[in-house]
Amino acid sequence: MKASRKLNLYLIIGTVLFFGCGEKYESGPLVADDTPPPPVTDVTIRNTPGGAIINYSIPDTEDLILVEASFVRNEEVVTTRSSIFNNELEIEGLISTEPQEVTLVAVDRSNNRSTPVTVNITPEQAPLINLFDSFSLESDFGGIRLNYDNGEAITTEMLLYTRDNSGNWTYDQSAFVINSESKKVTFRTFPPEAQEFYVIAIDRWNNVTPRLTATITPFEELRIDRLNFSPINLIG
């Protein structure tokens, strides 16, 4: 009796595996159509540093799934999406304060797209530029110190460039800033000689600041031979 049950179990498993390895079907909407949804309406804009928040009224159609915004960032068309459970989209990562176009499209379950609605946003000064405006360079031991105020706590990479032996600018060092707690970063390993430096910052959208250039003489920094150190035993 037990052997018969085992045999039946093996037959069932084999049947499932056999049919499970057969032809695959792509999933999709249960009912597809070619009727585009209505466009969004009542669009309002609140400009923000480096972007904007766009509010709108969602079309009254049952199969709507999202609203998509398209815009140009760093010479590339990028998109951001919001579901039907939200009536706003956030545009971010823009460095220019010039008016910029954003195209809004409603999309339904059959991937039909509504008539586009184009609006203009005028971003406020980007956080990356606010950070750059706080930059200052000064001498430090064995190098230079970059002072800054990252009050908006944006994530950036600071890049240092120097002149090579041929007088050409060349990348030398970099440092990451990921919060607003620190106020400075030091680039080291330079001799105490007057030298040209410049720094730039790059954010997570690959926006780049202008250059901050300065001629600085680092303070002399000497390495002490650790073999000349003597141990000090403290009481307790």
pLDDT at 179: 78
User: What's the DSSP call for residue 207?
Assistant: -
Q: Using the predicted structure, report yes or no on whether residue 202 has a pLDDT greater than 80.
A: yes
One-letter identity of residue 103: T
φ, ψ (nearest 5 deg) of residue 59:
-60, 145
Q: Confidence band (pLDDT; 50, 70, 90) for 2?
A: very low
For residue 152, is pLDDT > 60? yes
| Least confident span in 66-75, 116-125, 175-184, 186-195 | 175-184
**pLDDT exceeds cutoff 60 at 22:** no
Low-confidence winner among 29-33, 139-143, 156-160, 227-231 (lowest mean pLDDT): 29-33
Q: Closest Cα partner for 137 from 215, 221, 219, 210? A: 215
Contact 50, 128 (CB under 8 A): yes
Q: Which residues of 136-167 are buried (b: 16+ CB within 10 A; e: fewer)?
A: ebeebebbbbbebebeeebebebbbbbeeeee
- 28 has a pLDDT exceeding 60: no
